[in-house]
Structure 1
Amino acid sequence: MRRIAVVGAGIIGLAVAARLAARGDDVVVLEKEQGIARHQTGRNSGVIHSGLYYAPGSLKARLGTAGAASMTRFAQERGIDVRTTGKLVVATDASELPALAELERRGTANGVPLRRVAATELSRIEPHVRGVGALHVASTGIVDYPAVCRALADDVAQHGGEVRCGVRVVGARPSSGGGMAIDVESAGTGNNRAEEIVVDALVACAGLYADRFAETCGLAPDVRIVPFRGEYFDLVGDAAHVVTNPVYPVPDPRFPFLGVHLTPTLHGSVHAGPNAVLALAREGYRWRDVVPGDVFDSLSWPGLWALGAHHVVPGAREVVRSLSRRAFVRSLQRLAPMIERQHLVPAPSGVRAQALERDGRLVDDFRILTGPRQVHVLNAPSPAATASLEIARTVVQRLDEA
């Protein structure tokens, strides 16, 4: 039996821990927050993605497509609220039809069940949605991801593992015995209590802090995590049931963001968003959340300046949409013209941990970094929640190799 520490109690960390514990490893999950799934996992739109968007052969394509099935199955087996709704990706004008055709090609190559929908059928499926054509993707669904995390944490405990919240990892290094020595601080009623945990191996699923933690462990990641905030609204009044399926625009192929979309929730409302603006803190859920060290980290990375130089107009458009409710409404009206400003009520924002290359390229695939006795999930934005059970399988395989 090996003693293994997993840093981070989001859905990927918990999926890895549950898999390790189920095979007999002695697992401890270390989470700085006072509860699980407090950041990316607990602040997304709850969509089970299909694997439609991703380059054939990529980890996102393979693990995302498989994850749509495994996540749905896991939720059903554990009695977690999950619904396979299907999804529409809508071309709002003829200029978007070539990009829609490319999505159809990718989805078919990835084994995603889909079909082309003409404008007349689109109107029958979603009467309030307007477009010149669409793709219907059968395997998309919605699920309660925090409930999935609770089930995974239960699995860890049932197999003898431990999930420790309120524990901040401040350092990690090779131990004299050949394993890893992890320095932690546990928040108590008084001063923080420091201790050292010695383990045989380490898995880091640190999300927004993935690059920093990898450096703490002696590795040299070649990317920087740059936080992008996504702002959401709930639709109320006449627009509360504007769609019955998730409805997405055709995304800009230059970016790994899917655009402002409409998602029915498990509670009977409709979620609208997100946009994508540079956050001024790694946990910057509002414009007023500013951490100077995080801002310096972003601005000192040459890749951010290269990204901005090449995409000034799209970036400015996202900022305007963040600052102007009217601009956000106009984005939604391209899909559903009936939506008006009074239909929007602010909902909790999320922050996406996006890895950025030094030359300004946004990392468009999952990236996993290995070192002696350690594995780091370095880039795992959407569809990571969908693919979490499959990512865990891959991480455990790489840990065994490391």
Structure 2
Amino acid sequence: MDSIDVAVIGAGVVGLAIARATAALGLETLVLERNAHPGEETTSRNSGVIHSGIYYPNGSLKARLCVRGREMLYALCRTRAVSHRRCGKLIVAGESQVAALHALHERARANGVTDLVELDAEAVGRLEPEVRCVAALHSPSTGIIDVHELLLALLADLEAAGGSLILKSTVRAVRLAADSLVVMVESDHSVSELRCKWLVNCAGLAAVSLLQHIQGYPRSRLRQAYYAKGNYFACHGVRPFRRLVYPMPNEAGLGIHATLDMDGTTRFGPDVEWVEQPDYRVDPQRGESFYAAIREYWPTIPAGSLQPAYAGVRPKLVGPGFAAGDFDIEDAAAHGIPGLINLLGIESPGLTSSLAIGEHVALIISGKPN
């Protein structure tokens, strides 16, 4: 049986960032990915936005790791030549939302986001002539990134530090052994065992269901996984904005907002569609409901300009009718199994936070306080 220091389950952007961080500590690190390529699920189907840390409750993991991760991510982009653009973002408000906009600004300040500027309608018009609103927050540190290039950079750093990625390898079960965990891995219709000192469950959409197959994991801590599908539509033939444009957030999320591809193409989304299982098909009919939401801030959107783009699925720990929960990064102090770290409910801003999450987990493994 092969033995290593750290096994990471899941080669999305967060799993690779964690593996990169543990390999940099000199620990022999292996990433197990069930798909044929890294980042095939949540990572490759998000908006590619580098968030600044505005929305999240003060003191939450989302707030701390987003603010820290944003600066780490921009630094990585500079040093590794990962394509990105610090394009900025406008969060727009109507007449009845101005007080909530001020409150959002105060929350952002408490999170350490100190570069926001409140704008009136005239100032917004100078920045984005197509946008209609009463007031807005301008976030200059929000940006966009080429997610594929980021994955390649993380994988290159992992391999340069001696780590490895094994594709088409599905973790079926985990059992406890003396001073280690034994992982049963199915690959090419055969099953092998891998012994590790540390096991990081970063399986994204499958992270919660995997808990049921870990020997000794407390039944009282098992929970239900919820899947929030988000559909995106592209706006072809028109490029109305130079910045990202977001409505005020609501209980379900950040609303149907305008994001940009690296080539400048405008996309709108995501909406929230609760599904029983991940499903990436986009129903063209859902685009009809997008127009009314978009016209709240872009009243001149041409009829018929939206075309289905793609869909992603967010792994959530709370279901419909509840505000989004925090990241849950649990170690032995929570569940009692030495060497096991579970990352649950890693949704937005997971991409932005990825390097900070890697740092956070590496500190747990090295025994240093976070």
For 2:350, the equivalent position in structure 1 comes to 384
Amino acid at match of 1:110: N
Residue in 1 that maps onto 2:193: 196
1:399 aligns with 2:365: yes
Query: What residue is the counterpart of 1:136 in the other structure?
Result: 138
Aligned residues between the structures? 357
C-alpha contact 2:243 2:260 (8 A) present in aligned 1: yes
Task: Find the counterpart in structure 2 of residue 243 from structure 1.
Answer: 241
Looking at structure 2, the residues matched to 398 and 201 of structure 1 have their Cα atoms a distance apart, in angstroms, of 10
Equivalent residue for 1:233?
A: 233
1:360/1:346 CA distance change after superposition, 3 Å: closer
Give the letter for the 1:208 counterpart: L
- Tell me which amino acid in the other structure corresponds to 2:342: H
On the 8 A contact 1:374/1:399 being kept in 2, the answer is no
Counterpart-to-counterpart distance in 1, 2:27 and 2:37: 23
- Larger CA deviation: 201-210 vs 360-369: 360-369
Q: Give, in whole Å, the separation in 2 of the partners of 1:100 and 1:364.
A: 21
The Cα offsets for residues 55-84 of structure 1, whole Å up to 9 and x where unpaired, read as: 111111111111111111101111110111
Match of residue 145 from structure 1: 147
Helix, strand or coil at the partner of 1:342? coil
Long gaps (5+) in structure 2: 333-337
Kept after mapping to 2: 8 A contact 1:375/1:399: no
1:208 pairs with one of 192, 205, 211: 205
Contact map agreement 2:124 2:135 (CA 8 A) in 1 = yes
Matched to 1:370, the amino acid is D
Q: CA offset at residue 362 of structure 1?
A: 4.5
Which of 318, 330, 341 is residue 369 of structure 1 equivalent to?
A: 330
Partner of 2:53 in structure 1? 51
Q: Does 1:284 align with 2:282?
A: no
Q: 1:185 to 1:142 in 2, by over 3 A?
A: same
Q: Counterparts of 1:111 and 1:8 in 2: how far apart (Å)? A: 30
Question: Structure 1 CA distance, aligned partners of 2:327 and 2:264?
Answer: 32
1:170 is aligned to 2:165: no
Q: Tell me which of 290, 294, 315 is aligned to 1:328.
A: 290
For 1:105 and 1:45, how far apart are their aligned partners in 2? 25
Displacement, 1:178? 2.1
Residue of structure 2 in register with 1:311 after alignment:
none
Q: 1:247 to 1:287 in 2, by over 3 A?
A: closer
Distance 2:233 2:324 in 1: 27
Contact kept, 8 Å, 1:329 with 1:340, in 2: the verdict is: no
Root-mean-square deviation (CA, aligned residues, Å) is: 1.9
Say yes or no: does 1:29 pair with 2:27. Answer: no
Paired residues of 2:207 and 2:344 also in contact (CA < 8 A): yes
Q: Which amino acid aligns with 1:368?
A: I
Do the aligned residues in 1 keep the contact of 2:199 with 2:341 (CA within 8 Å)?
A: yes
CA offset at residue 222 of structure 1? 4.9
Task: Note if contact 1:326-1:341 (Cα within 8 Å) is conserved in structure 2.
Answer: no
Q: Distance in 2 between matches of 1:360 and 1:230?
A: 16
Residue pair 1:86, 1:139 contacting (<8 A) in 2 also:
yes
Report how far residue 401 of structure 1 moved. Answer: 4.3
Cα-to-partner distance string for 1:219-255 (whole Å, 9 max, x where unaligned): 2435322001100011112x2x111000000011x34
The alignment partner of 1:341 has SS state of: coil
Q: Which moved more, 1:348-357 or 1:242-251?
A: 348-357
Which segment drifts farther, 44-53 or 108-117?
A: 108-117
Q: Which moved more, 1:361-370 or 1:242-251?
A: 361-370
TM-score (norm 1): 0.85
Is the 1:50–1:137 contact (alpha carbons within 8 Å) kept by the matching residues of 2?
yes
SS of the residue corresponding to residue 328 of structure 1 reads: helix
CA contact (8 A) 1:355 1:362 kept: no
> What's 1:98 paired with?
99
Give unmatched runs, 5+ long, in structure 1: 289-321
Q: Secondary structure at the match of 2:318?
A: strand
Match of 2:41 in 1: 39
Amino acid at match of 2:217: L
Aligned to 2:335: none
Deviation per residue, 1:12-40 (Å, 9 max, x gap) = 10000001111111111000000001111
Contact 2:42/2:314 (<8 A) preserved: yes
Give the structure 1 partner of residue 185 of structure 2.
Answer: 184
Q: Tell me, yes or no, if the aligned pair for 1:225 and 1:353 is still in contact at 8 Å.
A: yes
The SS at the match of 2:288 is: helix
CA distance in 2 between counterparts of 1:392 and 1:161 reads: 14
Shift of 1:280: 3.1
Letter in 2 for 1:265: D
Q: Which residue of 2 aligns with 1:264?
A: 260
Contact persistence 2:318–2:325 (CA under 8 A)? no
Partners of 1:159 and 1:394 in 2: CA distance: 18
Q: Alignment identity in percent? A: 35
Q: Does 1:339 align with 2:305?
A: no
Secondary structure of the residue aligned to 1:134 is strand
Which 10-residue stretch deviates more, 33-42 or 218-227?
Answer: 218-227
Per-residue CA deviations over 1:81-120 (Å, capped at 9, x if unaligned) read 01111110000x2111121111111111122110100001
What is the CA-CA distance between 1:165 and the residue it aligns to?
Answer: 0.7
Q: Which moved more, 1:39-48 or 1:218-227?
A: 218-227
